[in-house]
Amino acid sequence: MDYLNFTHYDHIKGRTLSFLPHLSAPTDKFKNFLLYPYPISYKINSRGFRDSEWPSDLSNIVWCLGDSVTLGHNIPFEHTWSSILQTKTNIRCVNLGIVGASNELLTKMTLQILREYSPKNIVIMWVFFTRRHKDPWNFIDFESLDDDVNLKNFIECYHKVNNSDFSCNIINLLMTDQPKTLLPQSISQNIFHTNKVDYGRDLFHFDYKTAEIYVDHILSKLT
Protein backbone atom coordinates (compact mmCIF):
# COMPACT_ATOMS: atom_id res chain seq x y z
CA MET A 1 0.00 0.00 0.00
CA ASP A 2 1.27 3.45 -0.87
CA TYR A 3 1.13 5.65 2.23
CA LEU A 4 2.53 8.73 0.50
CA ASN A 5 -0.24 9.17 -2.02
CA PHE A 6 -3.32 9.08 0.08
CA THR A 7 -5.44 10.91 -2.46
CA HIS A 8 -5.35 7.75 -4.53
CA TYR A 9 -7.99 6.40 -2.23
CA ASP A 10 -11.38 7.48 -3.40
CA HIS A 11 -13.05 7.76 -0.03
CA ILE A 12 -10.37 10.18 1.09
CA LYS A 13 -10.13 12.00 -2.20
CA GLY A 14 -13.80 12.72 -2.21
CA ARG A 15 -14.06 14.08 1.25
CA THR A 16 -14.14 17.74 2.03
CA LEU A 17 -13.40 19.31 5.36
CA SER A 18 -15.52 22.06 6.72
CA PHE A 19 -13.60 24.82 8.37
CA LEU A 20 -16.58 27.00 9.10
CA PRO A 21 -17.61 27.11 12.74
CA HIS A 22 -21.06 26.04 13.61
CA LEU A 23 -23.09 29.12 14.23
CA SER A 24 -24.18 27.88 17.62
CA ALA A 25 -20.60 27.22 18.72
CA PRO A 26 -19.61 28.49 22.15
CA THR A 27 -19.10 32.22 22.11
CA ASP A 28 -15.41 32.19 22.99
CA LYS A 29 -14.59 29.78 20.20
CA PHE A 30 -16.71 31.68 17.76
CA LYS A 31 -15.16 34.98 18.73
CA ASN A 32 -11.70 33.55 18.41
CA PHE A 33 -12.53 32.14 15.02
CA LEU A 34 -13.68 35.52 13.80
CA LEU A 35 -10.91 37.49 15.45
CA TYR A 36 -8.01 35.27 14.44
CA PRO A 37 -5.72 37.84 12.87
CA TYR A 38 -3.94 35.92 10.12
CA PRO A 39 -5.22 34.65 6.77
CA ILE A 40 -5.72 30.90 6.52
CA SER A 41 -6.03 28.93 3.32
CA TYR A 42 -5.62 25.25 2.58
CA LYS A 43 -3.73 24.40 -0.58
CA ILE A 44 -3.33 20.70 -1.18
CA ASN A 45 -0.66 19.24 -3.46
CA SER A 46 -1.20 16.45 -5.96
CA ARG A 47 -0.37 13.84 -3.31
CA GLY A 48 -3.10 15.13 -1.06
CA PHE A 49 -0.93 16.86 1.51
CA ARG A 50 -1.12 20.48 2.63
CA ASP A 51 2.09 21.58 1.00
CA SER A 52 3.48 22.69 -2.34
CA GLU A 53 4.53 20.00 -4.80
CA TRP A 54 7.46 17.86 -3.80
CA PRO A 55 10.78 18.79 -5.40
CA SER A 56 12.18 16.46 -8.05
CA ASP A 57 15.32 15.92 -5.98
CA LEU A 58 14.34 14.34 -2.67
CA SER A 59 17.86 13.60 -1.51
CA ASN A 60 18.19 16.53 0.86
CA ILE A 61 14.82 17.21 2.39
CA VAL A 62 13.37 16.88 5.84
CA TRP A 63 10.32 14.64 6.05
CA CYS A 64 7.78 15.94 8.58
CA LEU A 65 5.11 13.53 9.76
CA GLY A 66 2.19 13.99 12.08
CA ASP A 67 -1.51 14.63 12.26
CA SER A 68 -3.61 17.79 12.00
CA VAL A 69 -1.18 19.64 14.25
CA THR A 70 1.54 19.03 11.69
CA LEU A 71 -0.82 19.81 8.81
CA GLY A 72 -1.63 23.07 10.55
CA HIS A 73 -5.35 22.81 10.95
CA ASN A 74 -6.74 26.26 11.75
CA ILE A 75 -3.44 28.06 11.42
CA PRO A 76 -1.77 29.54 8.33
CA PHE A 77 0.60 27.18 6.56
CA GLU A 78 3.43 29.63 7.33
CA HIS A 79 2.85 28.91 11.04
CA THR A 80 3.22 25.14 10.80
CA TRP A 81 6.32 23.68 12.40
CA SER A 82 7.44 22.21 9.09
CA SER A 83 7.21 25.60 7.38
CA ILE A 84 9.02 27.38 10.21
CA LEU A 85 11.70 24.70 10.09
CA GLN A 86 12.06 25.26 6.35
CA THR A 87 12.28 29.02 6.85
CA LYS A 88 14.99 28.68 9.49
CA THR A 89 17.07 26.02 7.74
CA ASN A 90 16.49 26.90 4.10
CA ILE A 91 16.13 23.17 3.55
CA ARG A 92 12.97 21.86 1.92
CA CYS A 93 10.74 20.39 4.60
CA VAL A 94 7.93 18.21 3.27
CA ASN A 95 4.73 18.35 5.29
CA LEU A 96 3.05 14.95 5.55
CA GLY A 97 0.46 15.89 8.17
CA ILE A 98 -2.82 14.00 7.90
CA VAL A 99 -5.87 14.94 9.92
CA GLY A 100 -6.62 12.19 12.42
CA ALA A 101 -3.49 10.17 11.67
CA SER A 102 -2.71 7.40 14.12
CA ASN A 103 0.72 6.40 15.37
CA GLU A 104 0.41 3.20 13.40
CA LEU A 105 -0.19 5.10 10.19
CA LEU A 106 2.79 7.36 10.92
CA THR A 107 4.90 4.26 11.47
CA LYS A 108 3.91 2.74 8.14
CA MET A 109 4.51 6.03 6.32
CA THR A 110 7.93 6.38 7.93
CA LEU A 111 8.92 2.84 6.98
CA GLN A 112 7.86 3.51 3.40
CA ILE A 113 9.99 6.65 3.29
CA LEU A 114 12.94 4.76 4.72
CA ARG A 115 12.59 2.01 2.12
CA GLU A 116 12.00 4.18 -0.92
CA TYR A 117 13.87 7.45 -0.38
CA SER A 118 16.93 6.82 1.82
CA PRO A 119 16.24 10.00 3.80
CA LYS A 120 18.76 11.85 5.94
CA ASN A 121 16.27 13.37 8.36
CA ILE A 122 12.78 12.40 9.39
CA VAL A 123 10.84 14.27 12.05
CA ILE A 124 7.81 12.55 13.54
CA MET A 125 5.34 14.28 15.79
CA TRP A 126 3.71 11.32 17.48
CA VAL A 127 0.01 11.71 18.24
CA PHE A 128 -2.48 10.70 20.90
CA PHE A 129 -1.78 7.21 22.24
CA THR A 130 -5.50 6.58 22.22
CA ARG A 131 -5.74 7.19 18.51
CA ARG A 132 -5.66 3.86 16.76
CA HIS A 133 -7.02 2.36 13.58
CA LYS A 134 -8.04 -1.00 12.25
CA ASP A 135 -6.84 -0.26 8.77
CA PRO A 136 -4.85 2.75 7.58
CA TRP A 137 -7.76 4.61 6.03
CA ASN A 138 -10.40 3.75 8.55
CA PHE A 139 -9.53 6.19 11.28
CA ILE A 140 -10.77 5.55 14.77
CA ASP A 141 -10.22 8.31 17.23
CA PHE A 142 -10.06 7.65 20.91
CA GLU A 143 -10.87 4.00 20.83
CA SER A 144 -11.92 3.04 24.32
CA LEU A 145 -9.25 0.51 25.04
CA ASP A 146 -7.28 0.16 28.22
CA ASP A 147 -4.63 2.87 28.64
CA ASP A 148 -1.97 0.21 28.99
CA VAL A 149 -2.95 -1.29 25.66
CA ASN A 150 -2.80 2.09 23.97
CA LEU A 151 0.59 2.82 25.50
CA LYS A 152 1.91 -0.57 24.46
CA ASN A 153 0.69 0.06 20.93
CA PHE A 154 2.55 3.36 20.82
CA ILE A 155 5.77 1.85 22.17
CA GLU A 156 5.63 -0.82 19.47
CA CYS A 157 5.27 1.88 16.82
CA TYR A 158 8.16 3.83 18.29
CA HIS A 159 10.47 0.80 18.26
CA LYS A 160 9.52 -0.21 14.72
CA VAL A 161 10.67 3.18 13.49
CA ASN A 162 13.63 3.87 15.72
CA ASN A 163 15.07 0.36 15.69
CA SER A 164 14.81 -0.22 11.98
CA ASP A 165 17.84 -1.27 9.96
CA PHE A 166 17.87 1.93 7.93
CA SER A 167 20.46 4.62 8.51
CA CYS A 168 18.55 7.83 9.12
CA ASN A 169 18.41 10.58 11.69
CA ILE A 170 14.97 10.22 13.22
CA ILE A 171 13.80 13.05 15.45
CA ASN A 172 10.92 12.15 17.72
CA LEU A 173 8.45 14.71 19.00
CA LEU A 174 5.45 14.09 21.17
CA MET A 175 2.36 16.18 20.63
CA THR A 176 1.30 18.53 23.36
CA ASP A 177 -1.16 17.26 25.96
CA GLN A 178 0.42 13.81 25.97
CA PRO A 179 1.50 12.07 29.19
CA LYS A 180 5.21 11.73 28.52
CA THR A 181 5.75 10.55 32.08
CA LEU A 182 4.05 7.26 31.22
CA LEU A 183 6.78 6.37 28.76
CA PRO A 184 9.76 4.19 29.64
CA GLN A 185 12.83 6.27 30.33
CA SER A 186 14.63 4.89 27.27
CA ILE A 187 11.95 6.41 25.09
CA SER A 188 11.13 9.54 27.05
CA GLN A 189 14.73 10.74 26.92
CA ASN A 190 14.66 10.50 23.13
CA ILE A 191 11.34 12.18 22.53
CA PHE A 192 10.74 15.92 22.86
CA HIS A 193 7.60 17.35 24.33
CA THR A 194 6.39 20.80 25.30
CA ASN A 195 3.17 22.39 26.43
CA LYS A 196 1.06 24.67 24.31
CA VAL A 197 1.89 28.33 24.68
CA ASP A 198 -0.53 29.59 22.04
CA TYR A 199 -3.56 28.50 20.06
CA GLY A 200 -4.80 28.63 16.50
CA ARG A 201 -8.15 29.79 15.29
CA ASP A 202 -10.04 26.86 16.81
CA LEU A 203 -8.49 27.19 20.29
CA PHE A 204 -7.24 23.63 20.01
CA HIS A 205 -4.35 23.30 17.59
CA PHE A 206 -1.22 25.19 18.57
CA ASP A 207 0.16 28.15 16.69
CA TYR A 208 3.61 29.42 15.71
CA LYS A 209 4.97 30.13 19.20
CA THR A 210 4.56 26.52 20.28
CA ALA A 211 5.80 25.40 16.87
CA GLU A 212 8.95 27.47 17.35
CA ILE A 213 9.73 25.57 20.57
CA TYR A 214 9.54 22.30 18.66
CA VAL A 215 11.59 23.74 15.81
CA ASP A 216 14.34 24.88 18.19
CA HIS A 217 14.62 21.30 19.37
CA ILE A 218 14.66 19.94 15.82
CA LEU A 219 17.41 22.37 14.88
CA SER A 220 19.56 21.00 17.69
CA LYS A 221 19.11 17.48 16.34
CA LEU A 222 19.32 17.93 12.57
CA THR A 223 22.28 16.41 10.79
Partner 1 sequence: MSPYLKPLKRILVVTSTYENFSNFYSQLLEDNMIDLGKLEDHYISNYFQLLTFLISQQTSIICSVSHQGLFEINETPKFFIKSCNIFFQKIVCFEKPNKWVTKNFQGVNYIKHNL
Strands of 62-66's sheet, edge to edge?
93-97, 62-66, 121-126, 169-174, 191-193
Which of these, 170, 52, 36, lies nearest to 110 by C-alpha position? 170
Q: Computed over its alpha carbons, how large is the radius of gyration of the chain? A: 17
Q: Closest distance between partner 1 and the C-beta of residue 85, in Å?
A: 12
Choose between 96 and 211: whose C-beta lies nearer to partner 1: 211
Q: Closest distance between partner 1 and the C-beta of residue 39, in Å?
A: 4
Choose between 16 and 41: whose C-beta lies nearer to partner 1: 41
Measured CA to CA, the distance from residue 79 to residue 168 in angstroms comes to: 26
Q: Closest distance between partner 1 and the C-beta of residue 59, in Å?
A: 27
Residues forming the site for partner 1 (CB under 8 A): 20-21, 23, 31, 33-35, 37-41, 76, 78-79, 83-84, 87, 208
Q: Closest distance between partner 1 and the C-beta of residue 37, in Å?
A: 4
Choose between 51 and 104: whose C-beta lies nearer to partner 1: 51
Choose between 27 and 56: whose C-beta lies nearer to partner 1: 27
Which of these, 174, 208, 180, 206, lies nearest to 192 by C-alpha position? 174
Distance of CA 81 to the CA centre of its chain: 9
